[in-house]
Amino acid sequence: MDLQNFEQSLLALQQSAIDELKGVSRREDALQIKNRYLGKKGQVQAQMSVLRELPNEQRRDAGRISNSTKQAIEQAFQKVMSDIAQAELDAKLASEALDVTLPARKPKLHRSHPLVQTEQELIALFAEMGFAVAQGPEIEKDYYNFEALNFPADHPARDMQDTFMIDQQGLLRTHTSPVQIRTMLAYKPPVQIIAPGRVYRVDDDPTHSPVFHQIEGLLVDVGVTMADLKGTLRHFIDRCFGKQTPMRLRPSFFPFTEPSAEVDIGCIFCAQKGCRVCSQTGWLEILGSGMVDPNVFKSCGIDPERYTGFAFGLGVERIAMLKYQISDIRLLFQNDVRFLEQFS
């Protein structure tokens, strides 16, 4: 063995190590190859044993040669390792690619509940006509809910079958009419208010809910007539259901109004031809109304000889159901987003 042989065999090892490392894609494979050449029992190390056979003056050169082989193999190994790392990074970046030009996902925006929308629209409509908003408690006294409103002591509405009683005097108001009393006790005429709010009745079926919403209207002044009531309601119906909508006042009875009238509109579903919604009558009842009963004025210390007034009470659910053609009142209380999302 001479130096030249030694160099050739090392270069051959170097070449075959580099060839083997080329294109290796797993770290453990690369490490294994490297160890096979550079490990303690590796092929390069094996060649080193022949160093001893070389004459002394050639050993330095031999050392240099073997160092350069080791370096070359180590470099090839490092190159493969960094290629593998780069390939992994490329793959990761490709799989996590972000298109920063994509439009952002829209957040789900709050929308008002259809009942709230309807209530707000009605309040705005009456506010335009000069009605101020008044409020009263939902837990009401029998006095305001019934007695001051001229309900006879034996009136069936006072029965527990209809009213959620709390105790002898306390109850959940069955209508917004007690706000009429509270307002007239607090303010002298002229009075022109609407009172929106929740009311309660022992009732539960597709068209009745134990809690629902009303808007009460009250206008008291000198010289108020039923024509004022009719004109006000006509304007409300024009705005709410359209100018072509027929309207009629149908004689009725409420203890706190005299005369009283229920107000119907021509059925908006069948153009008055008769359908299931209007029970073939061509008419839909939308509210109760009338001229304030003198006894109600007396309960509030207002002189019925000097003042007259009209009042009306409408159901917000009923208006919303007609406007949006909702067939079951319970849909308005179940809070199913698929239902609610239809009202933008």
For ligand PHE, the binding residues (CB under 6 A) are: 175, 177, 216, 254, 257, 288-290, 311-313
Q: Whose Cβ is closer to ligand PHE: residue 20's or residue 262's?
A: 262
Q: Whose Cβ is closer to ligand PHE: residue 114's or residue 290's?
A: 290
Helix (H, G, I), strand (E, B) or coil at 1: coil
Helix (H, G, I), strand (E, B) or coil at 344: coil
The distance of closest approach from Cβ of residue 343 to ligand PHE in the complex, given in angstroms and rounded to an integer, is 25
Report the candidate in 114, 89, 129 with the shortest Cα–Cα distance to residue 337. 114
For residues 20 and 77, the answer to whether their CB atoms sit within 8 Å is no
The distance of closest approach from Cβ of residue 289 to ligand PHE in the complex, given in angstroms and rounded to an integer, is 5
> Nearest 5 degrees, angle CA 54-CA 58-CA 61?
125
Report the candidate in 191, 210, 190 with the shortest Cα–Cα distance to residue 200. 210
Q: Whose Cβ is closer to ligand PHE: residue 266's or residue 313's?
A: 313
Distance CA 145, CA 218 (A): 15
The distance of closest approach from Cβ of residue 273 to ligand PHE in the complex, given in angstroms and rounded to an integer, is 28
Q: Whose Cβ is closer to ligand PHE: residue 246's or residue 259's?
A: 259
The distance of closest approach from Cβ of residue 216 to ligand PHE in the complex, given in angstroms and rounded to an integer, is 6
Place of tokens 């240099």: 64
Q: Whose Cβ is closer to ligand PHE: residue 241's or residue 312's?
A: 312
Distance CA 235, CA 247 (A): 11
Work out the number of other CB atoms within 10 angstroms of the CB of residue 148. Answer: 23
For residues 169 and 141, the answer to whether their CB atoms sit within 8 Å is yes
Distance CA 226, CA 62 (A): 124
The distance of closest approach from Cβ of residue 175 to ligand PHE in the complex, given in angstroms and rounded to an integer, is 3
The distance of closest approach from Cβ of residue 176 to ligand PHE in the complex, given in angstroms and rounded to an integer, is 7
Q: Whose Cβ is closer to ligand PHE: residue 66's or residue 174's?
A: 174
